[in-house]
Amino acid sequence: MPQRASPEQPFRIAIVGSGPAGFYTTEHLLKRLGEAVEIDLFERLPAPFGLVRFGVAPDHQKIKSATRAFERIGAHQAVRFYGNVELGTHLSVDELHRFYHAACFATGAESDRAMGIPGEALRGSHPATEFVAWYNGHPHHGEREFDLSAERVAVVGVGNVAVDVARILCRLPEELERTDIAEYALEALRASRVREVYVLGRRGPAQAAFTTPEIKELGELPGADIMVPRAEAEPDPLSREDVAASDDRALQRKLEILRSYADRAPTGKSRRLVLRFLVSPVELVDDGSGRVGAIRLVRNELYRAGDGTLRARAMDRVEEIPVGLVLRSVGYRGRSLPGVPFDDARGLIPNSCGRVVDLSTGGVIPGFYTSGWIKRGPTGVIGTNKPDAGETVDCMVEDLLAGRGWTPEEPDPQAVDRLIRDREPQVVTFDDWMRLDEIERSRGEALGRPRVKFTSAREVARALGRIWGD
């Protein structure tokens, strides 16, 4: 039966995940439904903003300014933020039905893909996603250790995450000191003995996933000389055909930049960043103590697959680079949520334009929606999530107005609030977050840094003046 919400009886929506996807979904709902909607935003971490806070590199502060818009949304009177509250631990999906008309899952892609080669589990081999979370002060990754006493490091993959990781490894301490990198990471990177960083692409320069501004920035690092072997900077004949047939100016510019790096002579900077193409890791070699001692690479050539794309195929030439640390940056991957359908092969929530779908029947599950990376996979920049969330909200609003949502038994906003606070006394509200934000900024101001982050739930509780049981 069609429903009409009103300010007295608004639609109540739960959004799980407070990264860009969660905030953009909230923003679209407020725009579409005005006073006829109330939104509870759940976040398992004590701080909001997901990938903007914990993924975007600390030396890319401009990108982090997206949070200004999120702050306005979070402070809206129809929005409540519940930090430190995890779906499945503090609230089940079944319980969401009791309190809300619909739920949207916007939990991103917090896990990573593996390379599937021997030696990947050796000490000194890590997903780049963990390194990123560590240097960004993600509360679940502060305890990790990365051996920065190694002189040589390999970063596998040539996407923007690989570029971020390589750039952070090549930044001088005085550059990092001006960022909001986690304190412990700053200390570790100050003591870093890393002098050579290899970034390894399995296909050629024309297929590299990194974008032009990001690769240009790598050539402007004060502390590292960049180089690309001349033979690898040139696209192979098949790629040249594709480039000539396309009018992709950004790609042409990217190739020009890579060529210019091949022509550069080293200027004697203390670090070296080497971009390699047409090589695939086939094994991480044990140094005899269970640690990575080298990475074995096979040379590739490109061939045209049936779908027209150019893919890598191993040839018989193998080489070995001695490295003490390997960071694989071959893509993020979504994690399943308890009680929510999951497509394990694709690492995302199966959906049709944001409406969650039951994989076995192919039918839409009423009241379940998804947005962001967990909806479409880990692609695109922060802003890509805005139209993506818009698509989901269009579906949600259409369904709600047609009466295809849930009928909550306890729509009183206080009911769910009581239940959550009973289960998790350390809830972080948006007001709490604004206080934390202010403290972080003032701690940073004294040091000429944008902020000094709190990096654990315990630190957050202390800063909020709460007693934290030991």
Residues near ligand NAP (CB under 6 A) = 115, 156-162, 164, 201-203, 207, 209, 214, 280, 329-332, 378-381
Residues near 245 by beta carbon (within 8 Å), at least 6 away in sequence? none
Q: Work out how close the CB of 81 gets to ligand NAP at its nearest, in angstroms, rounded to a whole number.
A: 25
Residue nearest to ligand NAP (CB): 159
Cβ closest to ligand NAP, residue 78 vs residue 312: 312
Cβ closest to ligand NAP, residue 214 vs residue 432: 214
Cβ closest to ligand NAP, residue 159 vs residue 367: 159
Q: Work out how close the CB of 136 gets to ligand NAP at its nearest, in angstroms, rounded to a whole number.
A: 12
Cβ closest to ligand NAP, residue 101 vs residue 328: 328
Q: Work out how close the CB of 189 gets to ligand NAP at its nearest, in angstroms, rounded to a whole number.
A: 19
Residue pair 150/324 in contact (Cβ under 8 Å)? The answer is yes
- The Cα–Cα gap between 273 and 277 comes to 13
Cβ closest to ligand NAP, residue 129 vs residue 370: 129
Q: Among candidates 106, 133, 159, 18, which has minimal Cα distance to 348?
A: 106
Q: Work out how close the CB of 303 gets to ligand NAP at its nearest, in angstroms, rounded to a whole number.
A: 13
Cβ closest to ligand NAP, residue 60 vs residue 423: 60
CA angle (193 as vertex; 169, 142 as ends), nearest 5: 60
Cβ closest to ligand NAP, residue 12 vs residue 202: 202
C-alpha dihedral, 385 to 108 to 250 to 274, nearest 10°: 160
Q: Work out how close the CB of 387 gets to ligand NAP at its nearest, in angstroms, rounded to a whole number.
A: 15
Q: Work out how close the CB of 345 gets to ligand NAP at its nearest, in angstroms, rounded to a whole number.
A: 15
Q: Work out how close the CB of 74 gets to ligand NAP at its nearest, in angstroms, rounded to a whole number.
A: 23
Q: Work out how close the CB of 377 gets to ligand NAP at its nearest, in angstroms, rounded to a whole number.
A: 9
Cβ closest to ligand NAP, residue 12 vs residue 126: 126
Q: Work out how close the CB of 139 gets to ligand NAP at its nearest, in angstroms, rounded to a whole number.
A: 21
Cβ closest to ligand NAP, residue 29 vs residue 162: 162
